[in-house]
Chains A and B, each alone.
Chain A
Amino acid sequence: MSDLSPAAAQPETEIDLAAAEALLGTDTSRFRHDYLEIRGLRVEFDGFVAVRDVDLTVTQGDLRFLIGPNGAGKTTLIDAVTGLVRASGSVAFGRTELLGRSTHRIARAGVGRTFQTASVFDELTVLQNLDIAAGARRGPLTLLRRRPGTPEAVEHALETVGLTALRDVPAGVLAHGQKQWLEIGMLLVQDAHLLLLDEPVAGMTQAEREETGQLLRRIGSQRVVVVVEHDMEFLRSFADSVTVMHQGRVLAEGTVQEVQNDPAVVEVYLGAPAAASDGAAAGATAGAVTSEAATSEGELP
């Protein structure tokens, strides 16, 4: 594998919004009644409460950003919704209660997520990655056969995330940003109705962020999307609404404007020395989060 230098294998890739249209379609009625409703969520790790009393409602068509200093509990919240950690309270997606279900059942209920560290199947090709993501509802007979061609949705997803040329490349050799795109593509073919993205643009260049933001906005106009992000500039450009978490609680919620002017938020980001020294968002409200901070964040193992 080592002789496959990523550089040699990687042409410029770009998000293709036209392909996204083909993939997402114009039909929004399927999603009209989708909403995420979290009530009294609490996650505890051996006595340490990582998330407490969280109420959160996100509706379809509202691109929600979830921010907060390191350790605020953002990832843990996603873990709780997707069944990775035990939680108490209630998490409803539409009429389906998610808490207490196993992870794969939650996924089948239409909930998809990405990971803080891009997580794809390194030994499988880009195409195979997407095909697996598209196939959770396949019956045993389909599974036992070879893939006849490229399924249409997979084809569109490849174009959407700009990986068509790299379809037969093992996902392990992709660049970091491409892996994150691949994960988004996987969410799309998975046909997730609720998308939870954990720092999807960490480590991307400015241009890549811009493209990703456009794509997320397009998806968000149709489905329920929650994006965890540290990058304030990205947030200001694309967020419809923002929820701020701090020490496991929801601190503030509203439009970008409202949140930026919330004294409690300013206090957390500027006042608390611990959070500030993290470099997570020292100058967040002033709009000066450095992309280096976000980058190092995203590449934590």
Chain B
Amino acid sequence: MDIIAQLFAGLSLGSVLLLAALGLSLTFGQMGVINMAHGEFMMAGAYTAFVVQGVIGDAGISLLVALPLGFLVGGLLGLLLEATLIHRMYRRPLDTLLVTWGVALVLQQVARDVFGAPNVDVRAPAWLSGAVEIGGLALPRTRLFILALAIVCVVALALALRATPLGRRIRAVVQNRDLAEASGISSRGTDRVTFFVGSGLAGIAGVALTLLGSIGPTLGTSYIVDAFLVVVAGGIGQIKGTVIAATALGLMQAFFEYSTTASVAKVLVFVAIVAFLQLRPQGLVSVRTRSLA
């Protein structure tokens, strides 16, 4: 039974990581841009849920409203960031990391000044309270909801990338920016849309996180490092890799935590990732290109 409980804990953690990392892998994959403010976009999504609940009151409806609205808020923040700063820095990916870190600091402080430093709570809707009993095991409904939400997001993103013209453009740019541009795809436009979608996914992740506990201005920082590890281990520009890596990291963390402590588990996961990169330096799934000689 214990094994199954750990398995569920791992999958649940994995789904949270996946939500956090999905958008990141899109923006990192497409532009090689490391957006350290991604976590703060999640935080913005979470506060969106908080504000929406304050206005609407009903926890169920407000959650359903907050999800798309969180997407929009995250997406618009991302768009703004891309248009003002990131687009002028595509040739300096490492520097982008530091610039977006600055943005993250500012956003955190804005949240602190607007909403106060203490954490706030968003009520979960009644239909998500309690747990589902399966074989004597209590699976919290909120966690199941997040798991489902992650799956929906992955499927929606995969479909969008595969089936829409926009998605095809994004994939083309991810795989070969210069060639795509030469064949008439506006990489400027594609970049913007990608950034919008990727950041929007962060917003959704933030809304989902409100179901797991209280939220605060530093919500993003606690997830961003793990989300980046997922992207690194998963390989760039591939949803498949991100999904596998998020699941694996979640499971590892859960099982290590079970056999040691939470903090030691973190270290072990880190060691495991470095060891894994010994085998596959490019991550799990990687698009091979002719490397610069």
Residues of A within 8 A of B (CB): 45-46, 79, 84, 115-116, 119, 301
Contacts and interface: CB of A to CB of B under 8 A. Distances in A.
A116 B288 CA distance: 20
B288 A119 contact: no
A84 B293 CA distance: 8
A45 B293 contact: no
A79 B293 contact: yes
The number of chain B residues touching the other chain, given as a range, is under 10
Interface of A is mostly: loop
Contacts of B178: 301
Interface string B270-293: 000000000000000000100101
A116 B178 CA distance: 19
B293 A115 contact: yes
Interface of B: 178, 288, 291, 293
B177 to A, nearest CB: 12
Contact of B288 (A45, A115, A301): A45
B293 A46 contact: no
A301 B291 CA distance: 12
A99 B169 CA distance: 39
Nearest to A75: B293
Chain A CB within 10 A, most for which of B178, B288, B291, B293: B293
Nearest to B292: A119
9 contacts: A45-B288, A46-B288, A79-B293, A84-B291, A84-B293, A115-B293, A116-B293, A119-B293, A301-B178
A191 B288 CA distance: 33
Contacts of B291: 84
A268 B169 CA distance: 36
Given A115-B293, A119-B293, 7 more contacts: A45-B288, A46-B288, A79-B293, A84-B291, A84-B293, A116-B293, A301-B178
Contacts of A115: 293
